[in-house]
Structure 1
């Protein structure tokens, strides 16, 4: 994820200070990893340095001064370029799940590997149920539904792969021991 571009996108809706940007990020991308405040302010500093945002003033509520930022024309152009660029499909499998399954097959006996695959499949199925409940809740927002759909599609793909791998392990075991 490009934190810089997400913050530019959030600023396209209007001026905000770092605390508001962090809250908006976490609300608009509810299934993404929450941003740390330090990450927001460091990114805003780089965006300002590069001329993509400008500070528009400070306000003081019950706490410290809060600097508001505004998207510049150059920032809008950078955001539009990012939004217009097609993301290349990932060339490598970098999932921890994939690595664990491969290592389990390398170092564990077949029954231990099968046990891991079954347990992981159960965990994925449980998470699918949770996400389905999130997106079908009466209070679900469009952000909730879209992010749940994204996570569900990925979990579903993982689950299909786990089942296929479990079948392959069983086939391999039958061939070796027949």
Structure 2
């Protein structure tokens, strides 16, 4: 029950961060969510649906080789993707300045992602890949996600343009939020 509650809170934070802060200014995020946003901005297709489609191969890999991660993560990724589409209308009603949107959206997405990662729940395939890499290398999962996100951000900017500076600000705060919420008590001391 606690895991479901954590998944719901984390998914809501990510979905609200995306729709209230990132989408209104056509900012980019990293990971498969970033891919979903690129497709949404380009073709008008729901980002959550795109996220589900693009995550399928990664989750198939997880089901085949890391079943425990698959079972822990499939619900989190599906809930996050669905909530991103369900809460899409809030992008028409909530307005912050561009700078505030980049920072606040990044923090919300990072905290939501990090909260779920602490309970081994992933919001999307890039998080799942980062979790695998982190387990094998002991690298911090927040830093891994940041570097993967940065590469997708740069690719997205090349394909559709957008506000690169504020998109970088947003994913920087996603990385900070994720890193801070995944640090152990020992690392905080």
TM-score (norm 2): 0.30
Q: Which has the larger radius of gyration?
A: 1
